């Protein structure tokens, strides 16, 4: 026991210095696979000093369902439902990527009506996926209402999907050779009504969430990812565009007649803080929804009559070869590295999930954040564990 | 071989064995038997209560009239607080639903799910009492009581009207503030005793936040005390007996702002959004009460709603004229209830609109902005009293002008609120919309 | 730049590294030697006319018939817009290669996955451990000769 020395005069020179023998401990905190704000079964082990995060280590694999191994056993057409379940919030886009990869290797042409319908459904799914991202991001920040509003809009999109293919979420609608079946009568009119209704709602989200002072304070200047770091770590999609890099596969390497449409690429500008912070990534998603509405309108106008499918055999064989095909998913670039040996199943199908690469930047951005900022960070990266773990 | 966890068998000893046996007898035999005989039991219960009241009135009241009166009033206050919590929980869910373009509870009880809270209470009461193995037993069990009981105690000094108060103390304002402040202890104990790092985070944030925001809360109220010169809630209420323009909130501009700073600080002290970081649902699962289930959780939950009403009641009495009518009719506790309920509704409105503020921003807001501002308000209000008197006629005239100007601003704000209400209701389909759409095929 | 031009540039820089070059077809790529991997990667990233700054994917393919494991690196340039790929063939008995994490940090997680599912060891990787499977899982599941485990930590699996 040290003797306590009493000073009659306050020692102002050394006032405020903490004696070096006070013990502080770092806490190892487990944001386990079950957590309200890890967007699925993601486990992050945090080393914190009070509220300050020193180190974050993500552990994945809790949703690993061996999709790539299954691909080597089932036929090409049988694998389409598995692609639904990769990024389960944007099933149409996953279907599209897989179908395009197989069609490229097999040299299969798709009729123009199918192309336009593919674009319409892919962009509708982009809107639906971004609605979930925005709503759940608001929920992470404590705003309970935007979630319910965005899901209300999403219900209409789900109804449109259900009318077209019978499923709301895991559609398997865009198949190899085109689309499974044509849209029913009156569907185009319903789609136009939805677009007219939806555009006014985006202003609601901006008023309620995007420009809300508290929300901006929580997300601006948090998790700043500079452009070179983003590219170096393989970030794609809104995470990359939020850092200021104007890179979108729909413009750079257009597929599926995207070069016929007139739309912009929203890029983060650091409007409310620093370029590349969480708010930029979030706002890029809001702006992308506006652009998607534009694209869908143009596609609906260009819709031609005709078949929606090129006949492919049920058990099809692809010529031996390799192809790597990427599409622009709502979360980034989804890639399929398809190796065929001439058989009825893929020899090897490697799926490049955008969230897998986006998540790899988390240990780099997390240090020196506060604990509450980790939720903001993970929400702005917008991971879906289905495509991280496959 | 699948892994099945083995639970050690529970062994009761001594008093807990007696209680366990009693509970089994009651819950397993007596209560089901009574429920079989519903109507006769109901009538028998009424007979028993009437007999009890007759016995008390005949034999105990003449001896100790004060104890009977105190007992009845305290039981009545407890009942009122419970009803406030129950209606508050139901109202919160309905309000949340309507703001989110859905309906809220609709089924339990035939009309708009009014019995939802009762059903939830029944559900919680029969839940298994889980205590984490490594939790600090005595503290874990004690914490909900320390959170709930002081919130109830605050009602002991809250006047609902002149003569409608349990104990009219000279320092009732300080008593109520002190009681509301004890809740911090319960929360910190609950978070610490849960032996979970997440609960600990909630408790530590709570400790910071609540204790810091007590100061702007108290200072704003002190500004009002400076205006009337009394710390007694009844006298503070009686000082506003002249209709709308005599309300303390309009007396001087400092008090006008003091109402808003008090309201914001009271949001923080009730852990309501946007200050609900201690129970931040999306980060800490449930914060300090993560490990609590069943009736212990209900106590924390009730404590929140009881405290919400208590701070709203305080704001009503001190700033909004208490039980006095704004339009000149009789001053009844009904006006008090209406105004307090309005403030509680505004609390709920704010909760479902705004996101959560981060803890360091919460502390910054308190220490850097709210605290100096409320000090300024207190100073200003005190100085205002010094010079707002007949010896400074020019200033007094200016003060009168400001006083009535503020009253008019208040009327405008109220008018704006009602206009907004009408506009929102008129355009409710366009603004909020419905989850169900009627135009899709098959709908 | 077309794939043919890219291959010409690469050959001009270091002709020894290129084993096979495929310029036509759905997948233009080069096969390079494993020893020159990091040098070629660095060249592809830093050469001003190429500037392949985004590593899209590292795919590991098991060819037991050729007794080798093939790693395919897919690249794209966000500044110049062209795409390319290169492959490395490794000995199936002991697949080892240098990590390109120093050139593209994105490679770190892809290489962990290749290690986890295919058993390729990456030298000088900062944190080479399993990423998708549990830490103590035996075997490398995506190999063609992988046998399912019968029991893991007390849980039995029916075949």
Distance separating alpha carbons of residues B113 and B172, to the nearest angstrom:
37
How do the residues of chain B divide into helix, strand and coil, expressed in percent and rounded to 5? 70, 0, 30
Of A218, A241, A220, A215, nearest to A358 by C-alpha is A241
Interchain pair B3, C154: CB under 8 A: yes
Q: Which structure tokens are listed for B364?
A: 């910054």
Q: Any chain A CB within 8 A of the CB of C38?
A: no
Q: Any chain B CB within 8 A of the CB of C158?
A: no
- For residues B86, B90, B93, B97, the Cα torsion angle rounded to the nearest 10 degrees is -170
Distance separating alpha carbons of residues A368 and A15, to the nearest angstrom:
27
User: Could you tell me which residues come within 8 angstroms of residue B15 by beta carbon, excluding any fewer than 6 positions away?
Assistant: none
Distance separating alpha carbons of residues A159 and A128, to the nearest angstrom:
11
Q: What percent of chain C has pLDDT over 90?
A: 51
Interchain pair A337, C55: CB under 8 A: no
pLDDT at position C154 is 83
* Chains touching A by CB (3 or more pairs below 8 Å): B, C
Q: Which of A30, A138, A190 sits opposite B355 (nearest CB)?
A: A138
**Residue A359 covered by a domain:** no
**Residue B370 covered by a domain:** yes
pLDDT at position A3 is 44
| Range in B78-82, B92-96, B127-131, C38-42 with the lowest mean pLDDT | B127-131
Distance separating alpha carbons of residues A352 and C110, to the nearest angstrom:
9
Angle formed by the axes of helices A187-205 and A145-165, nearest 10°: 170
Interchain pair A104, C29: CB under 8 A: no
Task: Indicate yes or no: pTM above 0.90.
Answer: no
- Give the distance from residue A348's alpha carbon to the nearest chain C alpha carbon, in angstroms: 6
Distance separating alpha carbons of residues A231 and A227, to the nearest angstrom:
6
pLDDT tens-digit readout, A296-348? 999 999 998 999 999 999 888 999 999 999 999 999 999 999 999 999 999 99
The pLDDT of residue C88 is above 60? yes
- For residues B398, B401, B402, B403, the Cα torsion angle rounded to the nearest 10 degrees is 120
pLDDT at position A23 is 63
From residue A377, how far is each of A56, A250, A382 by CA, in Å? Answer: 11, 26, 9
- Give the distance from residue B3's alpha carbon to the nearest chain C alpha carbon, in angstroms: 7
Interface test with A, best of C57, C63, C126 (most A CBs within 10 A): C57
Query: Which residue intervals of A107-165 are DSSP H helices?
Result: 112-140, 145-165
pLDDT at position C50 is 87
Distance separating alpha carbons of residues A388 and A354, to the nearest angstrom:
8
Q: Which residues of A touch C141 (CB under 8 A)?
A: 66, 69
The pLDDT of residue B442 is above 50? no
Interchain pair A148, B356: CB under 8 A: no
Mean pLDDT confidence for C63-76: 92
Q: Which of C25, C113, C142 sits opposite A321 (nearest CB)?
A: C25
Domain interval for residue B189? 119-387
pLDDT at position B285 is 67
Q: Any chain C CB within 8 A of the CB of B2?
A: yes
Using CA coordinates, name the residue in chain C closest to A58: C131
pLDDT band at A11; cut points 50, 70, 90: low
**Residue A261 covered by a domain:** yes
User: Any idea what DSSP says for residue C147?
Assistant: P
pLDDT tens-digit readout, B181-195? 998 898 888 888 888
Q: Any chain B CB within 8 A of the CB of C150?
A: no
From residue B190, how far is each of B93, B129, B389 by CA, in Å? Answer: 25, 15, 51
pLDDT at position A18 is 54
Interchain pair C85, A324: CB under 8 A: yes
Sign of the dihedral defined by the CA atoms of residues A87, A82, C129, A328, in that order: negative
Mean pLDDT confidence for C110-123: 93
- For residues A274, A275, A278, A280, the Cα torsion angle rounded to the nearest 10 degrees is 120
**Residue A367 covered by a domain:** no
pLDDT band at B7; cut points 50, 70, 90: low
Interchain pair B353, A143: CB under 8 A: yes
- For residues B286, B290, B295, B301, the Cα torsion angle rounded to the nearest 10 degrees is -30
> For chain B, what is the mean pLDDT?
85
The pLDDT of residue A4 is above 60? no
Distance separating alpha carbons of residues C116 and C93, to the nearest angstrom:
16
pLDDT tens-digit readout, A133-165? 999 999 888 888 899 989 988 988 998 999 999
Distance separating alpha carbons of residues A1 and B181, to the nearest angstrom:
36
pLDDT at position A5 is 46
pLDDT band at C111; cut points 50, 70, 90: very high
For the domain made up of C3-156, the CATH class stated in words is alpha beta
How deeply is A257 buried, as exposed, middle or buried, from its count of CB atoms within 10 A (0-12, 13-18, 19+)? middle
Own/partner long-range contacts of B159-164 (Cβ < 8 Å, ≥24 apart): B159/B233, B159/B234, B159/B237, B159/B317, B159/B322, B159/B323, B160/B323, B160/B333, B160/B336, B160/B337, B161/B322, B161/B323, B161/B331, B161/B332, B161/B333, B161/B336, B162/B234, B162/B237, B162/B238, B162/B323, B162/B331, B164/B323, B164/B333
- C-beta of residue B240 within 8 angstroms of C-beta of residue B335: no
pLDDT at position B433 is 64
Cis (ω within 30 of 0) for the bond into A240? no
User: Any idea what DSSP says for residue B345?
Assistant: H
Q: Which residues of A touch C113 (CB under 8 A)?
A: 356
pLDDT at position A103 is 94
Interchain pair C131, A60: CB under 8 A: yes
Domain boundaries, chain C: 3-156
The pLDDT of residue B399 is above 50? yes
Of B261, B347, B350, nearest to B305 by C-alpha is B347
Residue A219: give its domain's CATH number: 1.10.645.10
Q: What percent of chain B has pLDDT over 70?
A: 94
User: Could you tell me which residues come within 8 angstroms of residue C108 by beta carbon, excluding any fewer than 6 positions away?
Assistant: A360, C99, C101, C125, C126, C127
**Residue A221 covered by a domain:** yes
Mean pLDDT confidence for B227-253: 87
Distance separating alpha carbons of residues A122 and A257, to the nearest angstrom:
12
User: Could you tell me which residues come within 8 angstroms of residue B306 by beta carbon, excluding any fewer than 6 positions away?
Assistant: B81, B84, B85, B148, B151, B152, B154, B155
Of A28, A292, C67, A101, nearest to B197 by C-alpha is A28
Please name the residue that has the structure tokens 């098959």: B442
pLDDT tens-digit readout, B77-91? 999 999 999 999 999
**Residue A357 covered by a domain:** no
The pLDDT of residue B398 is above 50? yes
- C-beta of residue C54 within 8 angstroms of C-beta of residue A231: yes
**Residue B429 covered by a domain:** no
The total of structural domains in chain A comes to: 1
Q: Which residues of C touch A324 (CB under 8 A)?
A: 27, 56-57, 59, 72, 74, 85
CB pairs under 8 A between A and B: 92
* Chains touching B by CB (3 or more pairs below 8 Å): A, C
- C-beta of residue C104 within 8 angstroms of C-beta of residue C45: yes
Interface test with C, best of B1, B4, B5 (most C CBs within 10 A): B1
**Residue A231 covered by a domain:** yes
Interchain pair A350, C132: CB under 8 A: no
Q: Which of C54, C74, C108 sits opposite A337 (nearest CB)?
A: C74
Of C107, C112, C108, C114, nearest to C141 by C-alpha is C114
Please name the residue that has the structure tokens 């007649």: A257
pLDDT at position B197 is 80
> For chain A, what is the mean pLDDT?
88
Domain interval for residue A291? 77-313
User: Could you tell me which residues come within 8 angstroms of residue A187 by beta carbon, excluding any fewer than 6 positions away?
Assistant: A160, A163, A164
Distance separating alpha carbons of residues B146 and C146, to the nearest angstrom:
60
- The vertex-B228 CA angle with B224 and B232, nearest 5°, equals 85
3-state secondary structure at position A65: coil
**Residue A52 covered by a domain:** no
**Number of neighbouring beta carbons within 10 Å of residue A242:** 30
**Residue B307 covered by a domain:** yes
Please name the residue that has the structure tokens 């080798």: C68
Q: How many residues in chain C?
A: 159
pLDDT tens-digit readout, B13-64? 888 888 888 888 887 777 777 777 777 878 888 899 889 888 887 887 777 7
pLDDT at position A64 is 93
3-state secondary structure at position A247: coil
Q: Any chain C CB within 8 A of the CB of B3?
A: yes
């Amino acid at each position: 026991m040290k003797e306590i020395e009493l000073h009659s005069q306050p020692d102002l020179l050394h006032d405020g210095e903490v004696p070096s023998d006070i013990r502080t401990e770092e806490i190892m905190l487990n944001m386990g696979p079950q957590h309200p704000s890890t967007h699925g079964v993601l486990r992050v082990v945090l080393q914190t000093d009070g509220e300050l995060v020193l180190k974050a280590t993500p552990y994945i694999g809790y949703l690993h369902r061996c999709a790539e191994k299954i691909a080597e056993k089932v036929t090409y057409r049988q694998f389409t439902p598995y692609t639904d379940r990769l990024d389960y919030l944007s099933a149409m886009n996953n279907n599209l990527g897989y179908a395009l990869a197989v069609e490229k290797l097999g040299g299969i042409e798709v009729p123009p009506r199918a192309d336009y319908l593919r674009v319409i459904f892919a962009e509708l799914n982009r809107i639906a996926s971004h609605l979930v991202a925005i709503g759940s991001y608001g929920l992470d920040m404590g705003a309970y209402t935007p979630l319910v509003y965005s899901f209300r809009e999403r219900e209409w999109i789900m109804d449109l999907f259900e009318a077209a293919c019978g499923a709301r979420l895991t559609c398997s609608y865009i198949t190899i050779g085109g689309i499974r079946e044509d849209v029913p009568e009156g569907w185009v009119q319903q789609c136009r009504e939805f677009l007219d209704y939806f555009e006014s709602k985006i202003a609601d989200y901006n008023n309620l969430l995007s420009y809300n002072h508290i929300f901006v304070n929580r997300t601006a200047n948090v998790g700043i990812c500079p452009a070179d770091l983003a590219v170096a770590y393989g970030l794609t999609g809104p995470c990359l565009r939020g850092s200021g890099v104007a890179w979108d596969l729909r413009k750079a390497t257009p597929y599926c007649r995207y070069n016929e449409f007139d739309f912009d690429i929203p890029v983060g500008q650091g409007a409310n803080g620093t370029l590349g912070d969480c708010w930029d990534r979030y706002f890029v998603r809001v702006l992308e929804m506006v652009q998607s509405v534009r694209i869908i309108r143009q596609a609906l106008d260009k819709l031609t009559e005709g078949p929606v499918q090129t006949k492919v055999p049920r058990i099809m064989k692809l010529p031996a070869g390799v192809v790597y095909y990427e599409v622009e998913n709502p979360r980034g670039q989804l890639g399929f590295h398809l190796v065929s040996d001439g058989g009825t199943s893929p020899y090897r199908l490697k799926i490049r999930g955008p969230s897998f690469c986006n998540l790899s930047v988390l240990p780099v951005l997390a240090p020196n954040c506060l604990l509450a900022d980790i939720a903001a960070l993970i929400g702005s990266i917008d991971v879906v564990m289905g495509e991280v773990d496959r | 071989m699948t892994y099945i966890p083995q639970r050690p068998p529970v062994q009761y000893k001594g008093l807990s064995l007696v209680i366990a046996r009693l509970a089994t007898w009651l819950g397993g035999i007596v209560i089901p038997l009574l429920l079989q005989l519903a109507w006769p039991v109901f009538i028998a219960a009424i007979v028993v209560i009437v007999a009890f009241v007759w016995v008390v009135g005949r034999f105990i009241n003449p001896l100790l009239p004060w104890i009977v009166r105190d007992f009845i009033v305290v039981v009545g206050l407890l009942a009122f607080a419970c009803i406030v919590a129950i209606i508050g929980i139901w109202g919160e869910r309905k309000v949340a639903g309507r703001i989110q373009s859905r309906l809220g509870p609709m089924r339990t009880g035939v009309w708009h799910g009014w019995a939802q809270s009762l059903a939830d209470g029944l559900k919680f009461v029969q839940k298994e009492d889980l205590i984490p193995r490594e939790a600090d037993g005595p503290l874990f069990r004690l914490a909900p009581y320390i959170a709930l009981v002081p919130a109830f105690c605050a009602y002991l000094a809250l006047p609902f009207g002149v003569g409608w108060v349990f104990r009219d103390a000279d320092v009732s304002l300080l008593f109520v503030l002190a009681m509301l402040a004890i809740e911090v202890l319960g929360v910190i104990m609950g978070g610490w005793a849960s032996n979970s790092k997440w609960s600990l985070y909630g408790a530590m944030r709570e400790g910071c936040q609540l204790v810091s925001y007590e100061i702007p809360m108290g200072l704003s109220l002190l500004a009002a005390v400076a205006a009337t010169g009394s710390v007694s809630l009844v006298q503070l209420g009686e000082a506003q007996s002249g209709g709308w323009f005599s309300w303390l909130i309009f007396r001087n501009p400092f008090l006008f702002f003091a109402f808003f700073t008090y309201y914001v600080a009271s949001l923080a002290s009730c852990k309501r959004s946007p200050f609900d970081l201690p129970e931040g649902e999306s980060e800490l699962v449930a914060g300090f009460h993560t490990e609590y289930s069943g009736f212990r959780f209900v106590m924390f939950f009730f404590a929140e709603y009881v405290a919400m009403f208590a701070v709203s009641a305080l704001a009503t009495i001190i700033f909004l004229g208490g039980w006095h009518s704004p339009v000149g009719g009789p001053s009844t506790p009904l006006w008090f209830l209406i105004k307090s309920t309005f403030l509680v509704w505004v609390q709920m409105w704010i909760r479902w609109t705004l996101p959560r503020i981060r803890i360091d921003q919460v502390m910054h807001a308190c220490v850097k902005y709210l605290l100096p501002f409320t000090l300024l308000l207190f100073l200003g209000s005190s100085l205002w009293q010094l010079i707002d008197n007949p010896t400074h006629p020019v200033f007094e005239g200016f003060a009168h002008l400001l006083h009535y100007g503020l009253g008019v601003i208040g009327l405008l704000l109220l008018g704006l609120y009602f206009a907004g209400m009408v506009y929102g209701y008129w355009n409710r389909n366009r603004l909020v919309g419905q989850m169900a759409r009627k135009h899709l095929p098959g709908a | 730049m077309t794939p043919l031009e890219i291959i010409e540039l690469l050959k001009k820089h270091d002709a020894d590294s290129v084993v096979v070059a495929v310029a036509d077809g759905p997948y233009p790529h080069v096969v390079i030697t494993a020893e020159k991997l990091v040098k070629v990667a660095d060249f592809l990233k830093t050469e001003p006319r190429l500037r392949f700054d985004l590593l899209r994917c590292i795919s590991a393919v098991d060819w037991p018939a050729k007794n080798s494991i093939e790693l395919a690196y897919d690249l794209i340039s966000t500044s110049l817009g062209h795409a390319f790929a290169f492959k490395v063939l490794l000995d199936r008995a002991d697949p080892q290669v240098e990590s390109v994490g120093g050139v593209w940090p994105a490679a770190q997680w892809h290489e962990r996955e290749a290690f986890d599912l295919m058993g390729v060891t990456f030298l000088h990787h900062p944190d080479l451990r399993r990423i998708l499977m549990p830490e103590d899982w035996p075997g490398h599941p995506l190999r063609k000769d992988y046998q399912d485990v019968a029991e893991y930590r007390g849980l039995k699996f029916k075949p």
